[in-house]
């Protein structure tokens, strides 16, 4: 698909040219996410990975701008994957896309250097915002998780 033909008025041009690595062990979820991303932007996902080891290998070879990363992965969990990707591809922006809602897990994920954390149930409405924030060097945490996170660590 030619990204130029799918650009929508008012969207930043970098959104259409960024390289992404989508890491999730559920093939149906990856397919659904690809369709969602194409519908909202025409962005091209360059590579998919189904487990942690594969994610690190692919990140090292393609040096993605954005890594959309689940935590519950086979072979190597997403927190460890994020730490390894930060070493082999330090310019990659990591956005966790997961079902994990525990504030301790959110903190651990952000402590890896990730710039985003999106709950999978909110992916349809929050993912584009999270990716755009990441590409601008800003942090994004799903608002429903941020409340629990702030309540837990405010004390």
- Residue pair 79/33 in contact (Cβ under 8 Å)? The answer is no
The number of folded domains in the chain is: 1
Structural domain boundaries, residue 26: 3-153
Q: How far apart are CA 85 and CA 19, in angstroms?
A: 15
| Prediction pTM value | 0.83
Q: How far apart are CA 97 and CA 119, in angstroms?
A: 6
Per-residue pLDDT of the chain (155 residues; tens, 9 = 90+): 333 333 444 555 545 567 889 999 999 999 888 877 776 555 666 789 999 999 999 999 999 999 999 999 999 999 999 999 999 999 999 999 999 988 899 999 999 999 999 999 988 888 888 888 888 889 999 988 765 555 555 54
The whole-number pLDDT of residue 151 equals: 55
* CATH number, domain containing residue 21: 3.40.50.2300
Query: Partners of 68 in the beta sheet?
Result: 22, 95
């Amino acid at each position: 698909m030619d990204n130029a033909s799918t650009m929508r008025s008012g969207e930043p041009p970098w959104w259409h040219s960024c390289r992404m690595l989508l890491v999730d062990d559920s093939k149906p979820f990856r397919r659904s996410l690809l369709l969602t991303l194409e519908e909202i932007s025409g962005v091209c996902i360059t590579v998919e990975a189904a487990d942690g080891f594969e994610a690190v290998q692919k990140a090292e070879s393609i040096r993605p701008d954005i890594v959309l990363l689940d935590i519950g992965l086979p072979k190597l969990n997403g927190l460890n994957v994020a730490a390894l990707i930060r070493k082999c591809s330090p310019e990659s922006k990591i956005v966790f896309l997961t079902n994990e809602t525990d504030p301790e897990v959110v903190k651990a994920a952000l402590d890896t250097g990730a710039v985003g954390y999106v709950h999978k149930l909110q992916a349809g409405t929050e993912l584009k915002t999270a990716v755009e924030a990441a590409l601008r060097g800003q942090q994004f945490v799903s608002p429903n998780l941020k409340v629990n996170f702030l309540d837990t660590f405010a004390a």
